[in-house]
Amino acid sequence: MTEKNEVRTEENKVISPVVIKRLPRYYRYLGELLKNDVIRISSKELSKKMNVTASQIRQDLNNFGGFGQQGYGYNVEYLYNEIGKILGLDHINNIVIIGAGNLGQALANNQEFDSNGFKIIGLFDVNPRLIGMTVRGVEVYDIDVLEDFLKENDVMIAALTLPASKAIKVAGELADLGIKAFWNFAPVDLNLPEDVIVENVHLAESIMTLSYRIHSK
Amino acid sequence: MTEKNEVRTEENKVISPVVIKRLPRYYRYLGELLKNDVIRISSKELSKKMNVTASQIRQDLNNFGGFGQQGYGYNVEYLYNEIGKILGLDHINNIVIIGAGNLGQALANNQEFDSNGFKIIGLFDVNPRLIGMTVRGVEVYDIDVLEDFLKENDVMIAALTLPASKAIKVAGELADLGIKAFWNFAPVDLNLPEDVIVENVHLAESIMTLSYRIHSK
């Protein structure tokens, strides 16, 4: 990749960040089609399903090739795999979850992640009542063994599902131990070094956006 | 409000949607300052805390007035309240949670919502093992009583924390019963009537975005 945010397909075509943002949704729909043994789909059919214009879909997906002559439609499996590669889902992305409360357990229980190249390999907590239990086969470990765990396992992402009051300190320690990507559910800004990637899921901000949309109608 | 997406302050000034998107974060920071008894803050101090340029902050917050002469800083409480009003947080927004599994319980346990004008007044599930339990004082009801519950209570928002396979049907039924706003955690598009507001929290799409950012570095 030559520039930040720039992606090239195998044919070395540049894909814009705006298209990239739409890819997870295409990926989800194509995955459903694949599950239902659909081999080819036209942009018109996909458009109806996804509630996006057919021309938008054609523009977006033409970035990836993978279509026959006009009117023949897209090869579902090919497109699914190409988009998966762009999203890095052809790797196994190991995840640890820090905080094994309801939210951490909800993430560990979410089967959607498994099928998409993500693997939750451990939950960590300070609460003795949680340590030792398993969630869908994944063990909850004492947070004291996290450092050793990170040495022995190739962890790509740390999900932070712990209280805001602890998140900044723990994230800093994890970054020092080499974690370069955080999926942060704590309602704080982590302020980590520039080369560390943070994807925030701020639930309170999401519901405030909803509230704004209700009351501004 | 005269146009869709357009907001006016009490002085009838228009605020752009881009500014609106940043408001929940300002609201969070101002709330923290208020909790720490900070009465006034300069754009420079706020800028350092929030990692946004001071000139951005001045531009954004000047929409709301609420500042004295230059160099005097912003009145924290006034700004906090004004932003809260724009976001509709001066109303009590009653929420029901459909699906009382880990994720539904995590939402019910999140104290952040209470202090921001949201009130979770009931969880609903089909699972007899969950019905009758309480989460932070909020009861889990049989989903069969939901229709009556909605008649007796003024419910603003339904949070959907149930499996994707059930979400579309349940959302349709709730919309028929008059619910106009959904906070949707199920990984499906709900396809509801145009006047219904949907705020999606698609966790799989969020982690795919993170994965993309990791692998495109």
pLDDT at B3: 43
Q: Which fold has domain A93-206?
A: Rossmann fold (3.40.50)
**What is the model's pTM?**
0.89
Answer yes or no: do B106 and A102 touch at CB < 8 A: yes
> Is the minimum CB–CB distance between B61 and chain A shorter than 8 Å?
no
> Is the minimum CB–CB distance between B117 and chain A shorter than 8 Å?
yes
Q: Which CATH number, 3.10.25.10, 1.10.10.10, 1.10.600.10, 3.30.450.40, labels domain B7-86?
A: 1.10.10.10
Q: What percent of chain B has pLDDT over 90?
A: 66
Distance set, CA A147 to CA A8, A142, A152, A160, A177 (Å)? 36, 11, 9, 16, 7
Interatomic CA distance for residues B107 and B118, integer angstroms: 11
Res. A36: pLDDT tops 90? yes
Res. A153: pLDDT tops 90? yes
Residue with the bigger pLDDT between B100 and A1: it is B100
Answer yes or no: do A208 and B86 touch at CB < 8 A: no
Mean pLDDT score, A78-91: 91
Which range among A68-77, A158-167, B130-139, B149-158 shows the weakest confidence by mean pLDDT? A68-77
Res. B154: pLDDT tops 60? yes
Question: What mean pLDDT is reported for chain B?
Answer: 89
pLDDT at A4: 47
Answer yes or no: do A105 and B102 touch at CB < 8 A: yes
**Closest Cα of chain B to A161: distance in Å?**
10
What are the start-end ranges of the E strands in chain A? 7-8, 14-15, 40-41, 74-75, 93-98, 118-125, 134-135, 138-142, 157-160, 181-184, 197-200
All structural domains of chain A with their residue ranges? 7-86, 93-206
Res. B180: pLDDT tops 90? yes
A202 contacts in chain B (CB < 8 Å): 24-25
- Chain B residue with CA closest to A212: the answer is B87
Q: Are strands A93-98 and A157-160 parallel, antiparallel or unpaired?
A: parallel
> Is the minimum CB–CB distance between A88 and chain B shorter than 8 Å?
yes
Task: Describe the strand order of the beta sheet including B197-200 as a list of residue ranges.
Answer: B134-135, B138-142, B118-125, B93-98, B157-160, B181-184, B197-200
ipTM for the whole complex: 0.89
Give strand pairing partners of A74.
A41, A67
Q: Work out the pLDDT band at B182, boundaries 50, 70, 90.
A: very high
Res. A15: pLDDT tops 90? no
Interatomic CA distance for residues B152 and B154, integer angstroms: 7
> Is the minimum CB–CB distance between A166 and chain B shorter than 8 Å?
no
pLDDT at B9: 59
pLDDT at B93: 94
Interatomic CA distance for residues B47 and B61, integer angstroms: 12
Q: What is the pLDDT of residues B70-91, one digit of tens each?
A: 667 888 999 999 999 999 999 8
A180 contacts in chain B (CB < 8 Å): 214
**Closest Cα of chain B to A31: distance in Å?**
12
A136 contacts in chain B (CB < 8 Å): none
Q: Which of A105, A189, A205 sits opposite B51 (nearest CB)?
A: A189
